[in-house]
Structure 1
Amino acid sequence: MSVQERKERERAARERLIVKTARELAERQGWDAVTTRRLAESIEYSQPVLYSHFRGKREIIGAVALEGASALAAALRTATAEADGPRARVAALAHAYLDFAEGNPAVYDAIFQLDGGLPYAQEDTPEPLKDAFAALVESLGEVAGDGVHPGLFTETFWAALHGLATLTRAGRLPPGDAESRVDLLVDRLAAY
């Protein structure tokens, strides 16, 4: 292995460590706790080293969002692969999405709430974000109904899931009715 290859491998490992540490810190203490100073201390590198990878917190949030989008896409595909029939796939997708949001609140915020400097719904949207949306379309497109554009239906269903996720997390919805909400959403929006 050449010196250049070793340096590139070490740089990539440092970058993964920064993103992993930011995610862990945000999950434990919230995004306000994620500062370049705290990250530098946690990974035992200087702040200039951190800035050699990311221009600041916004880019770190973006990197966490991209990794999170990949994880969300994988979770959705895993959940829907086991489901038998369109309704079961849509219900599995809804549960997997809401479980991801509940289990990874800081990552969910990085993907959908915070400014990570990433373009959404545009030509230059990064591939992990496109893939997460594609994972939704794969199950939702088949239940959009006649004459309904699958992408538009997916956006609407996704918006409903996002609303459920954020309102539930904020304590705005009674927790005992979570299953009924998913059933209602699936039954009313998805045409089988």
Structure 2
Amino acid sequence: MTIEERRARDRTARRRLITSTARSIAEKEGWDAVTTRRLSTEIEYSQPVIYKHFASLDEITDAVALEGFEELAIALRKARLAAAADGAVGAVARTYAAFATDAPALYDAMFVISTRLPFGAHSPTALSVAFAEMRAAIAPRVGGEDVDVLTEVLWAALHGLVVLDRAGRIEQGRLDDRIDVIVNRLVVDAS
């Protein structure tokens, strides 16, 4: 291994340590608790070392969000591939909701906290892959409808349900029922 390769590996490891520590603090105490001072204390690196890897806390949050999109894409793919064709949309929808519920601070970094990540046509690869997994589940079940629009509607509806459920703004314990309504209204009988 060359010196440059070792330095690159060490730099990647430090970046990963910073993002995983930020994520851990946020999951335990919320994103307001994530500061460069707190991170430097937790990882035992000076604040200038953190700023050598990330220009700002926003950049750290964006990096955490990208990690989240990668994890979400993997989870959605596993759910889609494990389900029967006619159950893929429901499996993906439930996986999405479970992902958001199981890691609320990560989900917030991805969708709630203001971010500089572009959504839409210029989305980062990780976000596009997550969208593609949801699209792959719904595409065979939408008949002649616009699959991209229906995928966006599914994503938006699930996001709304998750946020409202987490905030206690809708009756608790009925998330699966609501997911069934969304899935049953969006998909058509393929037979």
Q: What TM-score do you get using the length of structure 1 for normalisation?
A: 0.95
The offset of 1:105, in angstroms, is 0.5
% identical equivalent positions: 48
SS at match of 1:176: coil
> Partner residue of 1:31?
31
The amino acid that maps onto 1:153 is L
Q: Distance in 2 between matches of 1:76 and 1:17?
A: 25
1:22-171 matched pairs, under 5 angstroms: 22-86=22-86, 88-123=87-122, 125-146=123-144, 148-171=145-168
**Maintained 8 Å contact 2:40/2:50:** yes
Aligned residue among 178, 181, 184 for 1:184: 181
**Maintained 8 Å contact 2:89/2:134:** no
Q: Distance in 2 between matches of 1:158 and 1:27?
A: 23
- Where in structure 1 are there 5+ consecutive unaligned residues? none
Q: How many residues align?
A: 189
Q: Distance in 2 between matches of 1:179 and 1:117?
A: 32
Q: Distance in 1 between matches of 2:143 and 2:155?
A: 16
Q: Distance in 2 between matches of 1:77 and 1:152?
A: 20
**Maintained 8 Å contact 2:80/2:133:** no
RMSD (Å), alpha carbons: 1.0
SS at match of 2:170: coil
Q: Which runs of 4+ in 1 moved over 6 A?
A: none
Q: Distance in 2 between matches of 1:108 and 1:67?
A: 11
**Maintained 8 Å contact 1:90/1:140:** yes
The amino acid that maps onto 1:139 is A
**Maintained 8 Å contact 1:65/1:111:** yes
The amino acid that maps onto 2:148 is G
**Maintained 8 Å contact 1:69/1:128:** yes
The offset of 1:144, in angstroms, is 2.2
Deviates more, 1:181-190 or 1:21-30: 181-190
> Partner residue of 1:11?
11
**Maintained 8 Å contact 1:61/1:115:** no
- Where in structure 2 are there 5+ consecutive unaligned residues? none
SS at match of 1:116: coil
The amino acid that maps onto 1:106 is A
Q: What TM-score do you get using the length of structure 2 for normalisation?
A: 0.95
**Maintained 8 Å contact 1:62/1:115:** no
The amino acid that maps onto 2:25 is L
